[in-house]
């Protein structure tokens, strides 16, 4: 690992967190930067909640509830239960221990600290050695247009409605005016390898690339950029990426992902199950790397990370 390149990962939530859990086993964590989506962030009860950042941190700290896929293992729910007495907003469940994170973040933001600074403090408090950066400290808000209903917030779509409704549009409010957080563009420009994590291309990676300067920085590093397909056998392993791709006029397949990422990445890691799609992926102008992409545990995640980084070193 002595000549390991600096690796910058464009990250959403669960899929990216698992990938990073593999990556820290094959690259020195100090050389890794995760640039994390903040367009799912939501202010609830006066508290700034950063679901993707927290999923990345909790996962890397080994503290995530793996079964539920979000929040802390061994969590309790006293505050939410109490909130129900008042008819408060409880569809977005914040566990008692998880609330400690949101209380801290709210306190530091109120003191005038930036989201990037606070995110770094939270990551260090969990003993992490990699750099975790929110893509921006400015407003960036995924808005989803639901068929026959109109536009709703991302968490209304994702959590409250359990992404069980057809979508006809997505936009990232605030993106035009958002600035990359300090360190984001240098992390992309200076990386030996840029990874686009196996996250939802439209609502996890999409908002990152919508922050002015980020897409351009990745394109500049295209030869050293590799994406991991979040679509395996035509399906998303988690979340609504497959349906969203369909509904928004893309193809829910490794080929569809290749088409989206061709301007950005020299290589796309696809699953063994999609081996037959390799020629079609390459026809999009992206080198196909075929391996096992289903991260069942930290070991398979490490193998995927090794293959991914190796694809563009």
- Interface with a copy of itself: number of residues (CB under 8 A): 37
Bridge partners of residue 285, in order along the sequence? none
CA 206/CA 50 separation, integer angstroms: 17
Bridge partners of residue 173, in order along the sequence? 141
Give the x/- contact pattern for a copy of itself in 52-91, rule: CB under 8 A: ------------------------x-xxxxxxxxxxxx--
Q: Where are the alpha helices (DSSP H) in 61-114?
A: 78-85, 96-110
Closest CA relative to residue 252, chosen from 282, 274, 219, 225: 274
Min dist. Cβ of residue 40 to a copy of itself (A): 19
> In sequence order, what are the residues at sequence separation of 6 or more whose Cβ sits closer than 8 angstroms to the Cβ of residue 190?
6, 8
177 binds a copy of itself (CB under 8 A): no
Nearer to a copy of itself, 48 or 222 (CB): 48
Nearer to a copy of itself, 1 or 86 (CB): 86
Min dist. Cβ of residue 54 to a copy of itself (A): 12
43 binds a copy of itself (CB under 8 A): yes
Give the x/- contact pattern for a copy of itself in 99-138, rule: CB under 8 A: xxxxxx-xx-xx----------xx--xx------------
**Binding window for a copy of itself (CB under 8 A); candidates: 10-18, 46-54, 252-260, 301-309:** 46-54
CA 4/CA 171 separation, integer angstroms: 37
CA 203/CA 167 separation, integer angstroms: 12
- Assess contact for 141 and 153: CB atoms under 8 A: yes
Note the residues at the interface with a copy of itself (CB under 8 A). Answer: 43-48, 76, 78-89, 95-104, 106-107, 109-110, 121-122, 125-126
């Amino acid at each position: 690992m002595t000549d390991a390149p600096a690796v910058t990962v464009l990250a959403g939530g669960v899929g990216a967190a698992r990938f990073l859990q593999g990556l820290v086993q094959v690259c020195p964590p100090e050389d890794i930067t995760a640039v994390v989506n903040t367009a799912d962030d939501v202010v609830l009860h006066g508290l700034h909640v950063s679901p993707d950042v927290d999923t990345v941190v909790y996962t890397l700290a080994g503290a995530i509830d793996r079964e539920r896929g979000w929040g802390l293992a061994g969590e309790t729910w006293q505050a939410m239960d109490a909130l129900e007495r008042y008819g408060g907003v409880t569809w977005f469940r914040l566990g008692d221990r998880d609330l400690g994170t949101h209380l801290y973040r709210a306190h530091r933001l109120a003191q005038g600290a930036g989201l990037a600074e606070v995110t770094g403090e939270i990551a260090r408090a969990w003993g992490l050695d990699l750099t975790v950066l929110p893509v921006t400290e400015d407003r960036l808000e995924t808005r989803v247009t639901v068929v026959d209903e109109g536009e709703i917030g991302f968490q209304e779509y994702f959590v409250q409605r359990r992404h069980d409704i057809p979508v006809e549009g997505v936009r990232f409010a605030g993106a035009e005016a958002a600035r990359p957080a300090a360190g984001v563009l240098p992390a992309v420009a200076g990386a030996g390898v840029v990874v686009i994590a196996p996250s939802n291309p439209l609502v996890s990676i999409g908002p990152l690339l919508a922050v002015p300067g980020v897409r351009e920085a990745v394109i500049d590093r295209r030869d050293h950029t590799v994406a991991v397909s979040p679509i395996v056998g035509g399906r998303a392993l988690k979340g609504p990426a497959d349906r969203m791709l369909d509904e928004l006029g893309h193809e829910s397949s490794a080929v569809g992902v290749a088409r989206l990422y061709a301007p950005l990445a020299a290589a796309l890691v696809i699953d063994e199950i999609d081996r037959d799609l390799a020629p079609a992926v390459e026809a999009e102008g992206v080198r196909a790397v075929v391996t096992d992409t289903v991260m069942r545990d930290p070991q398979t995640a490490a193998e995927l990370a090794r293959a991914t980084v190796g694809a563009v070193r």
